[in-house]
Amino acid sequence: MKKLIIMASMIITFLLPAIGATTTTDTVNEDARKRLHQLNDGGYTQDDVQAEIDFGKKLAAGILGKTTILANKKMNSYVNTIGSLLVSQVGRPELRYHFAILDSDDVNAYACPGGYIFVSKGALKLMKNEGQLAGVLAHEITHVNQRHIVKQLNIKAKDDSLNSNIAAVVGGGSTAFFTMLNQGMDLLFTDGLKREDEYEADAIGLEMLTALGYNVRSYYDFLEEVKRSNEQHKDQVMNKTHPSMDSRLERIKLIMTQNGLHQLNGNTNQPRFSKYVTL
């Protein structure tokens, strides 16, 4: 018995560091680091979030410098309400999400950092129900939640304590700030986000629709409709900034099959959609 106890002690001594158990010193250091940088979800500080909102606001103003908001308060309020419904369950609690309909016949949607989201009148015209609208908004909300533009442009607050040599400080009015804004506009209108970011936005968007009880198939149907529209209007298409619609549809179908989403009878809320979206 004594031999066994000695053996057990030796094993514990050997195994603890091997499996990376946290020591008291580690905990103290970790706490200090958290206090120092005000870490929130994902390692971003409050100042990083502020920087993101500030940048997103100006990028949104840039989009509105190109295209006006559709003059229909009722319809804009409806889109905001559906967007906020999604946000109520799956949004980043530290952000205020804003939505607007762009008065453009192009079929498109855009997401700026900080929660500024646009959907075009052309896209709404193609939609048949609320499930489809929720699908498009969920895709755009995911771009915000996953910080796709923030990561691509490396938008963060200045952190004096890091003495980082990669962080150049820019702000409103500086040439560098506008270089970054122009890069943001290019990402949205010309270059597009990374393909994997688009696929991720589709995948998490489907998960959001499920979480909110929407019919997931609606989003697939909408993208098929966009694909058909693209073939007719090759100059006004969503895939200026997105990967091919075929590859997206294929991946969405796979996710739906893997998660048994074909069998779900979620909500489409078609009557409510028709009441508010009158184009």
Partner 1 sequence: MKNTLVLFFLLSTFLIYQYASAQSGPRYVKGLSVSLLAEPKNGSTVVNKLERGAAVTQETEQGFWAKIVTPQGTGWVPKLTLSASPPAAQESLMDKKVDISSNARKRASNFTSAGSARGLNESKADFDKANLKADFAALKKMESFYVSPQKALRLLGAM
| Contacts of partner 1 in 115-144 (CB under 8 A) | 116
Neighbouring CB atoms inside 10 A of 194's CB total 14
Would you say the C-alpha torsion 218, 141, 180, 199 has a positive or negative sign?
negative
Which residue, 49 or 127, is less far from partner 1 as judged by CB?
49
Kindly determine how many residues on this chain lie close enough to bind partner 1 according to the rule CB under 8 A.
Answer: 92
Binding part of the chain for partner 1, among 8-16, 119-127, 193-201, 245-253 by CB under 8 A, reads 8-16
Asked if 100 and 79 touch (Cβ cutoff 8 Å), the reply is yes
- Smallest distance from the beta carbon of 257 to partner 1, in angstroms? 12
Measuring CA to CA, which residue among 187, 115, 108 is closest to residue 147? 115
Measured from the CB of residue 223, what is the shortest distance to partner 1 in angstroms? 19
Nearer to partner 1, 259 or 270 (CB): 259
Sign of the C-alpha dihedral computed for residues 127, 132, 134 and 140 taken in this order: negative
The reply on whether position 191 binds partner 1 by CB under 8 A is no
Candidate segments 121-129, 148-156, 226-234, 236-244, binder of partner 1 by CB under 8 A: 148-156
- The encoded tokens of residue 23 equal 């020591």
Of 57 and 194, the one with the shorter C-beta distance to partner 1 is 57
Beta carbon nearer to partner 1, 99 or 219: 99
Name all contacts of 191-199 with Cβ < 8 Å and 24+ positions apart: 191/241, 192/240, 192/241, 192/242, 192/243, 193/143, 193/148, 193/149, 193/152, 193/241, 194/148, 194/152, 195/243, 197/143, 197/146, 197/148, 197/152, 198/242, 198/243, 198/248, 199/243, 199/248, 199/251
* 6 near partner 1, rule: CB under 8 A: no
Q: Which residue has the tokens 């993101």?
A: 52
When asked if residue 109 is in the footprint of partner 1 (CB under 8 A), the reply is no
Residues numbered 78 to 97 that lie near partner 1 (CB under 8 A) are 80-85, 87-96
Binder among 109, 124, 149, 204 for partner 1 (CB under 8 A): 204
| Amino acid letter, residue 265 | N
Q: Which stretch binds partner 1 (CB under 8 A): 45-53, 190-198, 221-229, 232-240?
A: 45-53
Give CA separation, 19 vs 6, 16, 24, 67, in Å.
20, 6, 15, 56
- Site for partner 1 contains 270 (CB under 8 A): no
Among 24, 25, 35, 173, binds partner 1 (CB under 8 A): 173
Beta bridge partners of 72: none
Q: Which residues contact 205 (CB under 8 A, 6 or more apart)?
A: 135, 138, 139, 141, 142, 219
Q: Which stretch binds partner 1 (CB under 8 A): 68-76, 218-226, 230-238, 240-248?
A: 68-76
Q: Which of 146, 151, 183, 227 binds partner 1 (CB under 8 A)?
A: 183
Cβ-based nearer residue to partner 1, 155 or 223? 155
66 touches partner 1 (CB under 8 A): yes
Give least dist CB 239 to partner 1, A. Answer: 25
